[in-house]
Amino acid sequence: MINRITIVGTGLIGASIGLALKTNGFRGTISGHDANADELSTALTLGAIDEVLPDRDTVLTSKADVIVLCTPVLPILDWMEYLAPGLNELQLVTDVGSTKREIAAKAARLFNQEGRAEFLPGHPMAGKESGGAALAEPKLFNGATWLFTPVAEEGKLETAWRELVKKFGAQVSDMDSKRHDEVCAWVSHLPQMMSTALAALLEDTFADDPVGMAAVQAIGGRALRETTRLGASPYSMWRDVALTNTAEIAQTISALEQRLAHVRENLRTPELREEFATANKFRK
């Protein structure tokens, strides 16, 4: 039975989890902690959390049934080290980190043992190009896939947490942590890096040409807006992804570079038609 939940990191995802819990019938207490006092205050004002935990020690002693780590990946790893010795087998820790291999490895080492809390690595495939509690919404996870990369047999609290996530409208799915990072490099991390590179290229190309920049922004239309939308994402959201999934992301970028070179070399040949035909199959 889950009666008390603590959310560490009350930005977009953390505050949205709090709102989703309340909207979908959770009647227990939701506590929140964030290193950013403004984010914490906004989450409290929105009603995403019921009370503020001012420091790490209060998170550890909050007696939460479930602690949800909603920070970037490197702070998640740090929180795991801090929390593991002080929790017990009647508690569950889960997370929303965008990469899972390092988190799963640390979970297997520090948790899911006699006298220790359970740990269930998780990753909701939802978000926005900008972060912050002010953008939180209870329906953020509706229709999204919520991935878990379990490292131990499922316990009662894990089962209960999965049921809460399903109430958000999310599609719950399990995946091996290594496979998770490989697939997410293709479907999430590469699109982000591609959008960032294109947006940065346009900025550098037209930064000293205001007339040209105005023309780009006026003429670009929906295609350009959609392609560069992710370019608005802050570095703080993606630094840890790049640091903890470097090889996989580099591999996808190299593959894309090769494919773009193929397109460039065949701009005036029938091969370009074949490239469009293959792309059309994927979209269908």
90-145 pLDDT tens trace: 999 999 999 999 999 999 999 999 999 999 999 999 988 888 999 999 999 999 99
User: Packing angle between helix 190-206 and helix 246-265, nearest 10 degrees?
Assistant: 60
Q: What is the pLDDT of residues 205-253, one digit of tens each?
A: 999 999 999 999 889 888 999 999 999 998 988 999 999 999 999 999 9
* Amino acid identity for residue 115 in this structure: G
CA distance 148 to 161: 11
Determine the average pLDDT of the residues in 175-195: 97
| Cα separation values, 230 from 8, 42, 99, 189, 199, Å | 25, 24, 18, 10, 9
Closest CA to 76 of 51, 93, 92: 93
Dump the DSSP string for 118-134: EEE-EEE----SS-SGG
Q: Which residues on neighbouring strands pair with residue 119, listed in sequence order?
A: 93
pLDDT in the model for residue 221: 86
Cα 157 from Cα 160, distance rounded (Å): 5
User: Which pLDDT value is given to residue 115?
Assistant: 93
> What was the pLDDT predicted at 227?
94
Residue 170, CA distances (Å) to 5, 131, 162, 183, 272 in order: 19, 20, 10, 19, 39
pLDDT at 183: 98
The pLDDT value recorded for residue 131 is: 85
Tens-place pLDDT, residues 9-62: 999 999 999 999 999 999 999 999 999 999 999 999 999 999 999 999 999 999
